[in-house]
Amino acid sequence: MLLNVLLILLPLLIGYLIPLSSARLTRLVNQALGKMVYLILFLMGLGLAYVENLSSHLAMIAHVAGVMFGAITLSNLLALWWLDQRSPPTHEASDSKMPSKLQLAWESLRLCFVVLGGLSLGLVVNLHSLPIDKLGEWALMLLLLLIGVQMRNSGMRLRQILLNPWGMKIALTVVLSSWVGALLAAQLLGIPLTHGLALGSSFGWYSLSGILVADKLGPILGAAAFINDLGRELIAILLIPLLMRRHPSAAIGYGGATALDFTLPVIQRSGGITVVPVAIVSGFILSLLGPILILGFLAL
């Protein structure tokens, strides 16, 4: 798992080493980043169409996932709102003109429609022969490379990317608040507290939680963990543009581990290049802790 996280960071570091000599190339990189957002979200939706074994025990799965999702979401957002109030960030928004709430809502809905478009296509057309996962991985690698190039040519220092106190505070807040929500959900569901903590410690990494939890606790809780974390990622896509200007810690932190990869382009589009290092640090820490914490709680 650690190797996978390090491999995700490699194209970012390579991109950071590439200087651009003209403003035209910089504009092309910025335009390409915008297009990559939609491509990655479309591929994610396409991949969801081929998830198996979610139909059996649907009522119980939905109940467990719904309670867990609601409790963790409430706890995360309250804690991250408190973090924003206690330590207001000083970053500059990517657009000096404040867009209307209707514009922000439409941007979020448009991103969700892209995911639903991929899901709908996958359900209607049999595309099992296409290497969807590989295409998604390569698209993500290219996007991270482009983000690295953009950071290098925006004058951002490497120290800002690797050592970011704001990102570390967000990660710690997400971990602690996720545990509070998971413990509350476990009480409501009548499941062991350690099982609840395991489900709450993946921080949005749905492929990881589904596999690890299903292996130890069976397919029902495994599917619930998957849906809980998938819901977190989809809601994060919706909330990030709405929260970024006034509550950036909540916008970045709610995505959890996905701030390192899938929600990173949405964070970059909504908050500008200056919040990218914050998201990377937070997402990296949560991605690193996820498998360790899940396996640790399942072993108790």
What pLDDT is stored for residue 91 in this prediction?
53
**In the chain, which residues have pLDDT < 50?**
93, 95-99
Helices (H), 49-131: 58-86, 101-124
> Could you give phi then psi for residue 276, rounded to 5 degrees?
-60, -45
Please give the model's pTM, rounded to 2 decimal places: 0.72
What pLDDT is stored for residue 179 in this prediction?
97
Phi-psi region of 204 (alpha: psi -120 to 50; beta: other; left: phi over 0): left
What pLDDT is stored for residue 197 in this prediction?
95
Q: pLDDT per residue over 236-290, tens digit each?
A: 888 888 888 889 999 999 999 888 877 888 888 888 888 888 898 898 888 878 8
CATH number belonging to domain 2-299 = 1.20.1530
What pLDDT is stored for residue 99 in this prediction?
47
Alpha-carbon span 110 to 94, nearest angstrom: 19
Q: Are 49 and 119 in contact (CB under 8 A)?
A: yes
